[in-house]
Every structure is written in structure tokens, then in C-alpha cells.
Amino acid sequence: MELRVNKEKRELKSHGTYEFPVNISRKRISSYETGSFPWHWHNEVELTLVLSGEIDYRVNDSNYRLREGEGLFCNANALHAGSRVGDSDCDYLSVSFHPRLLGGYEGCVIRRKFVDTIVNGEHPSMPLSPEEEWQKEILETLSRIYRLTQDRSEIFELEVQRLLLGIWGELFSHWEEQSPAPSDPEKIERLRVILAYLHQHYGEKITLEDVAKEVGLCKSECCRFFRRQMRQSLFDYLLDYRIGRSLPLLREGKATVAEVASLVGFSNPAYFSKVFRGRMKRSPREYRLAKGEEQKSA
């Protein structure tokens, strides 16, 4: 599975429909071939419940290690990413929905008092633990919402909306006392700019000077800032991203390995193969052959 985003890192996947803007799904982190989903954002609120295993989840500049039974509220428009912990997998539920599902029409008291207070606030996330009774209720409600998708009744949409309104009421009641310190908007915007630049120019030669210039920092401060925010160096992140972008090209089989290397920003095919093997545990050719066999047997 591959997460599709535009150059600003906004996710392109539809979260439900305009008529019913809700997406309810069960996922495994291993379904992402790199064992992670990259930094992205969307207009929808997202709630996650870990069913088994654990996941490292990041929202703006907050880091969470979510374990079985725990969950997370991720606010609309917050940058977020997730990755596997070691070699273990993680099975989790994701419920994302547009806030307009809750708020009715513009200017109404529900939107102004309850929805906008959270969505337009500065708090990007809230961890959810089964140890807290009200948070446990939210987590159990997420499970109930997922079960509704397995046997859709005539009033499915009404039931989902009712349960989401209940979750929102709990979040609103405890928001200020539970939410972590707000993120620094200037830092988050700077990170967005860096990520957008890397993702737009990954197929070209990128220098640290180029990136630093985009955000008005010196090279050393740009490196420090990126490492603080991302917990890895800018260069390592770029390599990871380039390898991720090479996967669909290798699966398609239209370009040679050397051509794929060039398309994703590697000037040396041998170095591309070395980096690929280090991250994917097999060579680009082995990966292509394995995916070809999977498609034949599917």
C-alpha cells in the first residue's frame, strides 16, 4: 500500500464522500512496504485504535508509542506519520471524518462552540488510554463504529454520526485539561516547507544549501532543526523517501533498475542498489521479481 500525497503533503485519498465524509478502516502497518506511512496532513480529524502490536505515531512535534488497546486523536490539518516498532507488525483501526459532519451549518452554535473550538485550536493531538474511564469509552466506541461497517443497517450513517458526536462530546469536555502543549506554528510551517521541497525535487540533485535557503536558515541550523523534528537526519530521510518512490516504478517493470535509480535521484545505480538492500532487505531486482510473482499468483 502506498500513501498518495501532493507536493504540499496533503493526502489525496478520499475520506468518505461529500455526502458522508467518513472513512472507517482496519489496517496493518506492514501493508506499507517500507513499514511506515510518511508525513502528511488532511482536512479530516482522525482517530486511531491499536488492536495488536505497537506503532510509533508522530503528530507535528509530538511523539507517541501506541500499544495494544491505546489510541490517539489527531486533529484536522496536523502533520502526522507512523512507523512500525522494530520488526513487529501493528493492527489498528482508523476512523477519519470531516468536522462538518458534526457541526451543521456555518455560524450555528454547535459548530462555533464545540467543533471550531477544537479544530481551529492550537492543540494537534491527544493520546487515548484505556486506563482513563472516559478515554476507554472513546476507544470502545471506535470498535463499535467499526463493527457497524461489518453489518450495515438501514440507519448506518445515523448510527455512525451519533457515535462520533458522543466521542466529540467527551473530547470537548476534557480537552483543555488533557491535551499536550500546543505545537509551535512557525516550526511546523517550516517543516512543511522542507518536506514539500524534498518531495517535489527528490528526483533531482538536492544540496543542503538548497534546502536551507528555502526556509531561511544556515546549513547547520537547518540540519539541527530537521533532526529535532524528525528524529533522523535530512539526508537519511531523503534516502528513505527516494527508496519509497522507487517501489511503484520497480513494480511497473517499464524502466530498468538503472533508469529507476536516476528517476528517484540516484546518480549511481550501484549506490541505489546498496541503499535499497539496506532498507528493503533485498536488491531492486529481487524486489521486482518477487512482486511480479505475487501479481501472477493473485
Beta bridge partners of 54: 67
237-249: pLDDT as tens digits: 999 999 999 999 9
What is the per-residue pLDDT for 138?
98
Which of left, alpha, beta for 120 (phi over 0: left; psi -120 to 50: alpha)? alpha
Residue 5 has pLDDT above 80, yes or no: no
Residue 168: how many other CB atoms lie within 10 Å: 22
Q: Which residue(s) pair with 52 in the sheet?
A: 91
**What grid cell was written down for 71?**
489510541
Distance in angstroms (rounded) separating the CA atoms of residues 158 and 143: 16
pLDDT for the residue 294: 76
- Amino acid at residue number 190: R
* pLDDT given for residue 175 in this prediction: 87
Contact 98, 111 (CB under 8 A): no
pLDDT at 180: 65
Taking only the tens place, the pLDDT of each residue in 42-95 is 999 999 999 999 999 999 988 999 999 999 999 999 999 999 999 899 999 999
Confidence of residue 120 (pLDDT cuts 50, 70, 90): confident
Q: Report the candidate in 61, 65, 62 with the shortest Cα–Cα distance to residue 86.
A: 65
Q: Which residue has the cell 459548530?
A: 111
Measuring CA to CA, which residue among 257, 251, 261 is closest to residue 293? 251
Q: Which residue type occupies 291?
A: K
CA gap 86, 7 in Å, rounded:
29
pLDDT band for 107, please (50, 70, 90 cuts).
confident
Whether the per-residue pLDDT at 7 is higher than 60: the answer is no
Taking alpha carbons only, the member of 138, 135, 162 closest to residue 148 is 162
Q: Which domains does the chain have, with CATH numbers?
A: 22-178 (2.60.120.280), 185-297 (1.10.10.60)
pLDDT at position 6 over 70 = no
Within 10 angstroms of residue 234's Cβ, the number of other Cβ atoms is 19
Distance CA 58, CA 85 (A): 13
Structure confidence by residue, pLDDT tens digits, 135-169:
999 999 999 999 999 989 999 999 999 999 999 99
Residue pair 110/102 in contact (Cβ under 8 Å)? The answer is yes
Of residues 291 and 256, more confidently modeled: 256
User: Confidence band (pLDDT; 50, 70, 90) for 274?
Assistant: very high
3-state secondary structure (DSSP) of residue 115: helix
Decide if pLDDT at 4 tops 90: no
pLDDT higher than 60, residue 12: no
